[in-house]
Structure 1
Amino acid sequence: MKIGVVGSHSALDVCDGAVEEGFRTFAVCQKGREKTYTEYFKCERENGKVIRGMVDEILILDRFKEIMSRGNQGKLVGNNVLFVPNRSFSSYVDIGEIENNFRIPLIGSRNLLRSEEREEKKSYYWLLEKAKLPFPEKIDNPEDIDALCIVKLKHAKKKLERGFFTASSYKEYKEKSESLLRQNVITNEDLENARIERYIIGPVFNLDMFYSPIDKKIELLGIDWRFETSLDGHVRLPAPQQISLNEKQTTPEYTVCGHNSATLRESLLEKAFVLGEKYVKATQEHYSPGIIGAFCLQTCVDKDLNFYIYDIAPRVGGGTNVHMFVGHPYGNSLWRKNMSTGRRTAFEVKRAIEKGKVGEIVT
């Protein structure tokens, strides 16, 4: 049995964790962006033992979406692959195709991938409401903006990135949106369908969690936070310099380009676990069989130490490479060995095989 993944996003963590638990790995790559997997982190073995890297076998396609062809799926089946979905997989491949026509078992919750799309009727916001979990207040009409808000919509040119911007009044909303429209950063259609939320002023914590159907327990494996361009460049500038920026530089972009690790003060840990437990219960009630394996609650903490969930990844989070191989203080201390999200996923597969419960961890 091999652990497979789309070669992007968090694939290195998935592959690293798999080889640590004794599995061979299979990465599906796109031509022109494959060298990370085919060269720089290619697995080398001596007598079966890994001495370098973590990616064993590679399938290179012209486009990621070609993974759906009968022939390419046949290659995955022939290699006895269990597939770990990441955001690149559900972004480059149509979710309906994944739900109905992808024949390879997914380690995780196939039907929950759709909930990540804000436009869906039963999106993660719908789940948060059902679970009575805290999230930023929605503003239905931009004319009602009377305090700092964030406007969430897609970037017009960068397929997977954000065209987010902030505004503290309707006047600022109009000025910034018109500027971004002129620059072709956003479109009128996306602006009309944008979600406007109260801005939570506070640090960001991405809670990298794991639910084991075998143990019926939730785990906090680690916490990461993001480096975003050009936002992080803006905050390093003195205020007078920020004010003097020209139109194209004034509004920062929220393109994630890296991650770092974090911990929470211990008095907040129980609150974090409660968030995870309520989310797991809601998914089990409304998206049977519910969340399986890795997921990420993306949160902000306000001045009164209240959590707000502003996004959810119902699969391996985008920041888990920061825990790759070394693990994270929480996962390591729980399992008494280096335990990243990728390794915990592979460890669950190994335990499921040993207990004859593979059917409980795949969909």
Structure 2
Amino acid sequence: MSSQWILKEEIDEILDCYDQANLKIATIGSHSALQILKGARDENFKSLAICSEAVSWFYEQFDFIDEVISVRNYKDILKKRFQEELIQDNCILIPHGSFVEYVGAEAILTKLKVPCFGNRITLEWESDREKEMSWFEEARIKVPKVFKKPEEIDRLAIVKFFGAKGGKGYFLVRNKDEFYEMKKFVKKANSYLIQEYVIGTRFYPHYFYSKILDRLELLGMDIRYESNVDALGRIPPRISRSLELRESYSITGNIPVVARESLLPKILEIGYNLLNASRKLFSFGIIGPFCIEMICTEHLELVCFEISSRIVAGTNFYMDGSPYSSLYFDEPMSCGRRICREINLALSSGRLKEVIF
């Protein structure tokens, strides 16, 4: 990233001018916005949904959202006047997957001066596959083999593209010839990662690191519902062979899951390892929600392959809490509400700057 990053001190100065008794929680109307904004209401904050003109009507259906603003392009958020209005309104932005995809990690780091919950530096590390792999390496977490070039492929592998695109365009290959054949069908496929495809069951744990409580929480878990790969099994082999279908991995939904209890210590340990590694690799480390996508093999070995260093859409199933969040809280606690609870805890202890960047 070539442009100069916004400094934490700049955000702190802006936060000093906020009326902290009247903070407003804001995010883009997509991904996990409903959960976040409902969490804001549950925690007694005002809320704002920033929506495209096509979906504003939808977010206006919900009474817990106090205000809906329409924009022609989500990058309008970066305009000076728009940012000034958000700052004047004491807004705290909550980044999510669509936020990162539509606005861009680099723009958030270099142009967005509105205070955000969490550590915005993590967005660069989740958006860059090579940095993501170095993060896993620092944490000493087992990952699939990475092939540096197509000619190295000697087993079943998956090809992934950079950015928060919900699995769009991913494909499986067994050798370099299949790679070059499949790559023809993907547009703008210059930046990619070739990774060993590990066979096993999927677990995507939802973690939350509380800076205020100094506690890592396991709030939930999901698996992704992907089109069309999750539908291919419904087609009999006698038919599918003749159709010459190409698999795709576009995420269309999420399915709740719980892991066997004997796996939970391993899952939480992996979360701690990634958290500790983040503190070594970049300033402040992870703050708030993150997710590690992993495979559990038949030998109960956990192999990790992706990080989302902000709230993930898989938490949407648990708007009233999950089996795991109930172990920490005696009330419904979604990840969106947990973010807003952390802001409340920071406010009451005079530590708001520790969770906002």
Distance of aligned partners of 1:161 and 1:304 in 2 relative to their CA distance in 1, 3 Å threshold: closer
Distance of 2:55 and 2:87 partners within structure 1: 24
Question: Once superposed, which parts of structure 1, at least 4 consecutive aligned residues long, lie more than 4 Å away?
Answer: 158-161
Q: Which amino acid counterpart does residue 320 of structure 1 have in structure 2?
A: T
| 1:151 aligned onto 2:159 | yes
| 1:86 aligned onto 2:96 | yes
**Could you tell me which residue of structure 2 aligns to residue 166 of structure 1?**
172
Distance of aligned partners of 1:168 and 1:27 in 2 relative to their CA distance in 1, 3 Å threshold: same
Match of 2:147 among 139, 142, 161: 139
What percentage of residue pairs aligned between the two structures are identical?
Answer: 32
* Alpha carbons 2:169, 2:186 under 8 Å: kept: yes
| The 10-residue stretch of structure 1 (159-168 or 304-313) with the greater mean CA deviation from structure 2 | 159-168
| 1:37 aligned onto 2:31 | no
Please report how far the alpha carbon of residue 161 of structure 1 lies from its aligned counterpart in structure 2 after TM superposition. Answer: 5.1
Distance of aligned partners of 1:159 and 1:147 in 2 relative to their CA distance in 1, 3 Å threshold: closer
Distance of aligned partners of 1:118 and 1:239 in 2 relative to their CA distance in 1, 3 Å threshold: farther
| 1:217 aligned onto 2:254 | no
1:122-169 C-alpha deviation (Å, 9 max, x unpaired) = x211111111111111012323322211111369xx976521111223
TM-score where L is the length of structure 2: 0.89
Instruction: Tell me the SS of whatever aligns to 1:244.
Output: helix
Match of 1:113 among 108, 112, 123: 123
**Could you tell me which residue of structure 1 aligns to residue 45 of structure 2?**
23
**Could you tell me which residue of structure 2 aligns to residue 2 of structure 1?**
24
* Alpha carbons 1:203, 1:301 under 8 Å: kept: yes
Q: Which amino acid counterpart does residue 303 of structure 2 have in structure 1?
A: Y
* Alpha carbons 1:154, 1:163 under 8 Å: kept: no
1:50-87 C-alpha deviation (Å, 9 max, x unpaired) = xxxx3211111100000011221122112211111112
RMSD: 1.9
Distance of aligned partners of 1:185 and 1:131 in 2 relative to their CA distance in 1, 3 Å threshold: same
| 1:298 aligned onto 2:293 | yes
**Could you tell me which residue of structure 1 aligns to residue 4 of structure 2?**
none
Q: Which amino acid counterpart does residue 77 of structure 1 have in structure 2?
A: I
Please report how far the alpha carbon of residue 252 of structure 1 lies from its aligned counterpart in structure 2 after TM superposition. Answer: 1.5
Q: Which ranges in structure 2 are unaligned for 5 or more consecutive residues?
A: 1-22
Q: Which amino acid counterpart does residue 134 of structure 2 have in structure 1?
A: W
* Alpha carbons 1:207, 1:298 under 8 Å: kept: yes
1:4-49 C-alpha deviation (Å, 9 max, x unpaired) = 111111111111111111112111111112232123xx21xxxxxx
| The 10-residue stretch of structure 1 (6-15 or 136-145) with the greater mean CA deviation from structure 2 | 136-145
| The 10-residue stretch of structure 1 (61-70 or 71-80) with the greater mean CA deviation from structure 2 | 71-80
Instruction: Tell me the SS of whatever aligns to 1:290.
Output: coil
Q: Which amino acid counterpart does residue 173 of structure 2 have in structure 1?
A: A
Instruction: Tell me the SS of whatever aligns to 1:232.
Output: helix
Distance of 2:215 and 2:139 partners within structure 1: 18
**Could you tell me which residue of structure 2 aligns to residue 198 of structure 1?**
196
TM-score where L is the length of structure 1: 0.87
| The 10-residue stretch of structure 1 (330-339 or 237-246) with the greater mean CA deviation from structure 2 | 237-246
Instruction: Tell me the SS of whatever aligns to 2:324.
Output: helix
| 1:361 aligned onto 2:355 | yes
* Alpha carbons 2:158, 2:194 under 8 Å: kept: yes
